[in-house]
Structure 1
């Protein structure tokens, strides 16, 4: 079996080649625990987190990964404030207008919009938000994979979020695929006022996203990539967007 420090060196070398970023100020730790490989530390953004996890999976000889990577919150945000802001964003989103929105506060479920009797209605659903140490956990049920993925993206967009655990159930069940990922990413980019979605093209093959087109600034280019990485269950993101002043 490989040593954890060997895996770490391989992963970090691959990460720097692929992302052109160095994480000297964000130390990463790995160690084996039985049949699992624990990956811990802090990273600057969601793209770095998910890229590191995918590279670790490639170099870990099939070991089960335990994800303890967290995105640095700068400035830090209290759990209650993060929970409130996220619930407000979900309630304001037109895509969740028929969802009951709840918050778990000190172990108790507080219904912020709608009633629990409405949660099972056709065309409805329920999202419960829990926040602990900056980690957002989403539970309940939604009506489509797009809604499930969009809920994660909105959580990542709220300042102070360090990780998202999406446990939302899908009712009714729905097959996943490249077209679904492409559709929801189009929706995400159109929703994000920081990017001009009409100038970006999206190709998805085997759950791997390729972005192309052109934008006016490097910040906009990076934001489009961050948005793509915010989606759950994608096989990677290739950013070929060009910057044209």
Structure 2
């Protein structure tokens, strides 16, 4: 059995081999607590975070990861600002109009919208701590769960999103559900022309193809796919055509 020092060195080497992870600009601190690997630090984007966790989980001897990785926010915001933006986004999304929304600040809970009677839309509770948005409650479908997470990631001050939403009644997840959620995210993205982007998913790996008018849109489309709950990897084959 590897020692904690040997294990963390092996994980460090695995992270160093991933091009999307820049350990010089964004160092990741590694440790072992009670046999669990602890990963802590601020990474460039959600892709780097997911890939770091994937690379670490693949190392022999890593059974459980305590995830303390945070994403560098696009803009510094207070927890109150992030929480308000998250609630506003949920309330303003037409696809979630039958879903109840609650805001939690410590022990204070504000009921912002009650779920429509008989709609089975469920309720989403939003709380934010140190820029980390946590979504709790139960919703009526996987599509709702995924859309709520994307909306939370779109907030400039979000440093991570913990999606604790349950789905009632339970649904069987599959690649088709993930692909549809990515398509919806791209269609709703305010700065992406999604009409010429195609989405395919296999084994939770999303492949994007098609054309967009700028490199910036190409990058944003990829990030929107990464934001979707259940996506393990994104292969961006979108071309830029001016």
Preserved CA contact (<8 Å) 2:198 2:210: yes
Tell me which residue corresponds to 2:170: 173
Tell me which residue corresponds to 2:35: 35
Structure 1 Cα separation of the partners of residues 52 and 118 of structure 2: 40
Task: Give the 3-state SS of the residue equivalent to 2:40 in structure 1.
Answer: strand
Q: Any stretches of 5+ residues in structure 1 without a counterpart?
A: none
Q: Any stretches of 5+ residues in structure 2 without a counterpart?
A: none
Measured on the aligned residues, the alpha-carbon RMSD in Å equals 1.5
In the alignment, is residue 238 of structure 1 matched against residue 242 of structure 2?
Answer: no
Structure 1 Cα separation of the partners of residues 60 and 159 of structure 2: 24
Instruction: Work out the number of aligned pairs and report it.
Output: 238
Task: Give the 3-state SS of the residue equivalent to 1:3 in structure 2.
Answer: helix
Structure 2 Cα separation of the partners of residues 175 and 126 of structure 1: 20
In the alignment, is residue 205 of structure 1 matched against residue 202 of structure 2?
Answer: yes
Structure 2 Cα separation of the partners of residues 151 and 48 of structure 1: 21
Alignment TM-score, normalising by the size of structure 1? 0.92
Structure 2 Cα separation of the partners of residues 7 and 23 of structure 1: 12
In the TM superposition, residue 74 of structure 1 has moved relative to its aligned partner by 4.2
2:123 pairs with one of 126, 132, 146: 126
Distance 1:109 1:121, change over 3 A: farther
1:163 pairs with one of 143, 150, 160: 160
5 Å-filtered alignment, 1:138-153, equals 138-153=135-150
Alignment TM-score, normalising by the size of structure 2? 0.93
Partner deviation per Cα, 1:181-237 (whole Å, 9 max, x = no partner): 011111110000211111111110111111111111111111111011101122211
Preserved CA contact (<8 Å) 2:36 2:62: no
Distance 1:56 1:97, change over 3 A: same
Task: Give the 3-state SS of the residue equivalent to 1:212 in structure 2.
Answer: strand
Tell me which residue corresponds to 1:229: 226
Tell me which residue corresponds to 2:213: 216
Structure 2 Cα separation of the partners of residues 24 and 66 of structure 1: 22
In the alignment, is residue 8 of structure 1 matched against residue 12 of structure 2?
Answer: yes
Tell me which residue corresponds to 2:44: 44
Preserved CA contact (<8 Å) 1:8 1:29: no
